[in-house]
């Protein structure tokens, strides 16, 4: 066993992979392993992975057929031996000006904590600028209980669902079978919903460790399809069924999160065809019971909008809002790394 397993799922990222991997090496972390999971990448990523494995003894590579990011992460978890796990996507990198050792040391000093969340900087590709957007409330996130942590995130509309800004106990993942679900879009949302059902303790470090490459051509944020919508609706349906069976304070917070997801998904539907909007209308209506659980100001306003303007108009109203929000984030004040 080692202290930390760094898992890098890799697919078609030849342009960015060296920057990602070099950022890990330059952190000079002690007692770690770096697991490069080549998910059947069709470019030169397999050769680059082999190069790093030959250069560094603590690197290992797993070459597999393409199965998607969930499959790659799961293979990494299964083959890891670290007491803690951290994920980094192959087109992102760690901030060279912030010491990842701080996060690792904090984890080992507070081993009762299952997950520690750290901060993210967005790198706007095409502009070459670094920006901090909705994580500005990060230092105020409460950690005295999971319920307070969860409620705060729901109320502020930023659920911190991505695994990339977390250091996680491997035992916690294995004991609760918290592997990523294969074959779905927005897998991070589905994973985080299950994580928060099991979580006993959480910590937060307001350090911008992770640099996320934003607005890259081909990323999910730029390619919404009907399957994205259907998978998100499946998540909402599953939460309704779960909370009907296991009623609790945390279950009510989960429904509040699903209310946020419902309205976000409705806005994303504006990127789909009118035929898809019509075909999915019944699906939205079937799980619209979650709308009443919205606690944030945005969720309440969205619910009023839906009741007044109905399904089709609300799609375009929320879709317009999401576009404006994206533009606003891109215009946030530039920061240094």
- Specify the pLDDT at position 136: 63
* Helix extents (H) in the chain: 17-25, 45-55, 69-78, 100-109, 146-156, 170-175, 187-198, 226-245, 249-268, 274-279, 281-286, 297-330
Of 80-89, 124-133, 244-253, 269-278, the poorest mean pLDDT is in: 124-133
Q: State the DSSP code for 110.
A: -
Total residues found in the chain within this entry: 337
What average pLDDT is seen over the chain? 92
**What does the pLDDT look like over 121-148, one tens digit per residue?**
989 887 778 877 555 688 899 999 999 9
| pLDDT tens per residue across span 292-305 | 999 888 899 999 99
Look at the block and give the residue holding tokens 């009623």: 247
Distances (CA, A) of 119 to 29, 82, 94, 199, 251: 19, 22, 11, 19, 26
Q: Which residue has the higher pLDDT, 56 or 122?
A: 56
* pTM of the complete model: 0.92
Q: To which residue do tokens 């939460």 refer? A: 239
Every domain of the chain and the residues it spans: 2-220, 224-330
Q: Which CATH class is domain 2-220?
A: alpha beta
Least Cα distance to 8 among 38, 42, 30, 28 occurs for 38
The set of residues, in sequence order, having a beta carbon less than 8 Å from that of 130 and lying 6+ positions away, is 121, 122, 123, 124, 211, 334, 335, 336, 337
């Amino acid at each position: 066993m080692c202290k930390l397993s760094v898992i890098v799922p890799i697919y078609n990222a030849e342009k960015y992979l060296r920057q990602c991997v070099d950022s890990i090496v330059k952190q000079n972390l002690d007692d770690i392993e770096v697991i490069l999971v080549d998910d059947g990448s069709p470019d030169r990523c397999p050769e680059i992975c082999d190069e790093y494995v030959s250069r560094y003894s603590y690197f290992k590579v797993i070459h597999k057929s393409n199965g998607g990011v969930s499959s790659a992460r799961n293979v990494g978890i299964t083959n890891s031996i670290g007491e803690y796990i951290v994920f980094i996507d192959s087109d992102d990198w760690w901030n060279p000006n912030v010491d990842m050792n701080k996060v690792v040391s904090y984890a080992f000093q507070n081993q009762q904590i299952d997950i520690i969340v750290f901060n993210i900087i967005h790198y706007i590709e095409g502009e070459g600028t670094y920006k901090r957007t909705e994580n500005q409330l990060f230092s105020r996130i409460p950690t005295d209980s999971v319920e307070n942590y969860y409620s705060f995130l729901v109320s502020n509309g930023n659920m911190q669902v991505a695994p990339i800004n977390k250091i996680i106990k491997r035992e916690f993942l294995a004991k609760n079978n918290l592997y990523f679900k294969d074959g779905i879009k927005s897998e991070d949302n589905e994973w985080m919903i299950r994580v928060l059902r099991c979580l006993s303790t959480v910590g937060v470090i307001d350090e911008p460790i992770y640099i996320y490459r934003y607005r890259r051509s081909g990323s999910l944020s730029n390619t919404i399809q009907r399957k994205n919508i259907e998978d998100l609706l499946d998540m909402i349906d599953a939460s309704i069924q779960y909370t009907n069976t296991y009623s609790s304070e945390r279950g009510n917070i989960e429904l509040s999160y699903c209310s946020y997801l419902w309205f976000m998904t409705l806005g994303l539907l504006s990127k789909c065809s009118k035929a898809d909007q019509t075909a999915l209308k019944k699906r939205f209506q079937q799980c619209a019971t979650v709308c009443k659980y919205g606690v944030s100001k945005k969720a309440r306003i969205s619910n009023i909008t839906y009741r007044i303007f109905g399904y089709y108009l609300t799609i375009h109203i929320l879709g317009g809002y999401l576009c404006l929000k994206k533009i606003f984030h891109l215009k946030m004040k530039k920061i240094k790394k």
